[in-house]
Structure 1
Amino acid sequence: MRLDDARVARLATVDADGQPHIVPVTFAARGDTVVIAVDHKPKSTRDLKRLRNIRANEKVSLLVDHYAEDWSELWWIRADGTARILETTEASAWLIDKYPQYRDNPPAGPFIVIAVTHQTAWSPS
Structure 2
Amino acid sequence: MARSELSALERRWLADPPHVLARIATVDADGMPHVVPGGWSFDPATDEMVLGGRDVPRTQRAVHVRASGRAAVVVDGLAPGPGWSPWAFVVRGRARIDDDLGVIRIAADQVTSWGLEAVTAGAAAGE
Residue 67 (structure 2) aligned to one of 42, 56, 59? 56
Superposed, 1:1-125 pairs within 5 Å as 2-3=13-14, 5-6=17-18, 7-31=20-44, 32-39=47-54, 47-68=58-79, 70-71=82-83, 73-89=85-101, 110-123=102-115
Amino acid at match of 1:120: T
What RMSD in Å do the two structures reach over aligned CA positions?
Answer: 2.6
The CA distance in 1 between the partners of 2:85 and 2:17, in whole Å, is: 13
Identical pairs, percent: 33
Corresponding residue for 1:106?
none
CA contact (8 A) 2:27 2:64 kept: yes
The CA distance in 1 between the partners of 2:54 and 2:111, in whole Å, is: 26
* TM-score normalised by length of structure 1: 0.67
- Number of residue pairs aligned between Structure 1 and Structure 2: 101
**SS of residue paired to 2:58:** coil
Structure 2 gaps of 5+ residues are 1-9, 119-125
Amino acid at match of 2:41: A
**SS of residue paired to 1:39:** coil
Amino acid at match of 1:19: M
The CA distance in 2 between the partners of 1:37 and 1:119, in whole Å, is: 20
Amino acid at match of 2:25: A
The CA distance in 2 between the partners of 1:38 and 1:73, in whole Å, is: 28
Cα-to-partner distance string for 1:28-72 (whole Å, 9 max, x where unaligned): 0134211122436xx9xx631101111111111100111256345
The CA distance in 1 between the partners of 2:31 and 2:42, in whole Å, is: 27
Structure 1 gaps of 5+ residues are 90-109
Shift of 1:79: 0.7
